[in-house]
Amino acid sequence: MATLNLSSLQALAFHRLSSSFPQSTPTLSFNFQPKPFANPRPISLKPYVSEKPRARVVALAVKSLGETEAVAVSPEDGQSAGELPSGSGVYAVYDTNGDVQFIGLSRNIAASVAAHWKSVPELCGSVKAGVVDEPDRETLTQAWKSWMEEYIKVSGKVPPGNESGNATWVRQPPKRKPDLRLTPGHHMQLTVPLENLIDALVKENKVVAFIKGPRSAPLCGFSQRVIAILENEGVDYESVNVLDEEYNYGLRETLKKYSNWPTFPQIFVDGELVGGCDILTSMYEKGELASLLKK
Partner 1 sequence: MGVTKEEVESSLKAKLNPSHLEVVDTSGGCGASFVVEIVSEQFEGKRLLERHRMVNAALEEEMKQIHALSIKKAVTPDQWKQQQESNQSNPAA
Single residue of 109, 276, 289, 293 touching partner 1 by CB under 8 A: 276
Given the rule CB under 8 A, which of 62-70, 79-87, 191-199, 269-277 is the region that contacts partner 1? 269-277
The answer to whether residue 285 forms part of the interface with partner 1 (CB under 8 A) is no
Specify the 3-state DSSP secondary structure of 148. helix
Quote the least distance from Cβ 227 to partner 1, whole Å. 16
Single residue of 273, 284, 289, 293 touching partner 1 by CB under 8 A: 273
The answer to whether residue 282 forms part of the interface with partner 1 (CB under 8 A) is yes
- Cis amide bond preceding 22, omega within 30: no
The answer to whether residue 23 forms part of the interface with partner 1 (CB under 8 A) is no
User: How buried is residue 135: exposed, middle or buried, by Cβ count under 10 Å (0-12/13-18/19+)?
Assistant: buried
CA 244 to each of CA 176, 201, 252, 275: distance values in angstroms, whole numbers, following the listed order: 18, 17, 10, 21
The answer to whether residue 287 forms part of the interface with partner 1 (CB under 8 A) is no
The answer to whether residue 262 forms part of the interface with partner 1 (CB under 8 A) is yes
Per-residue mark of binding to partner 1, 220-259 (x: CB under 8 A): x-x-------------------------------------
Quote the least distance from Cβ 276 to partner 1, whole Å. 7
Quote the least distance from Cβ 11 to partner 1, whole Å. 52
Closest CA to 145 of 18, 255, 280: 18
Closest CA to 280 of 268, 271, 270: 268
Q: Using an 8 Å Cβ cutoff, are 124 and 93 in contact?
A: yes
The answer to whether residue 261 forms part of the interface with partner 1 (CB under 8 A) is yes
The answer to whether residue 290 forms part of the interface with partner 1 (CB under 8 A) is no
CA 268 to each of CA 7, 209, 243, 262: distance values in angstroms, whole numbers, following the listed order: 60, 6, 18, 14
Q: What is the Cα–Cα distance from 234 to 293, expressed in whole angstroms? A: 10
Q: What share of the chain is helix, strand, coil (3-state, %, to 5)?
A: 40, 15, 50
Given the rule CB under 8 A, which of 13-21, 44-52, 79-87, 267-275 is the region that contacts partner 1? 267-275
Count of beta carbons in the 10 Å neighbourhood of residue 92:
24
Quote the least distance from Cβ 198 to partner 1, whole Å. 18
Nearer to partner 1 (CB atom), residue 14 or residue 268: 268
Nearer to partner 1 (CB atom), residue 135 or residue 218: 218
Nearer to partner 1 (CB atom), residue 177 or residue 286: 286
Q: What is the Cα–Cα distance from 193 to 209, expressed in whole angstroms? A: 20
The answer to whether residue 260 forms part of the interface with partner 1 (CB under 8 A) is yes
The answer to whether residue 218 forms part of the interface with partner 1 (CB under 8 A) is no
Return left, alpha or beta for 284; rule: phi > 0 is left, psi -120 to 50 is alpha, else beta. alpha
Quote the least distance from Cβ 285 to partner 1, whole Å. 12
Chain residues in the site for partner 1 (CB under 8 A): 220, 222, 260-263, 273-279, 282-283
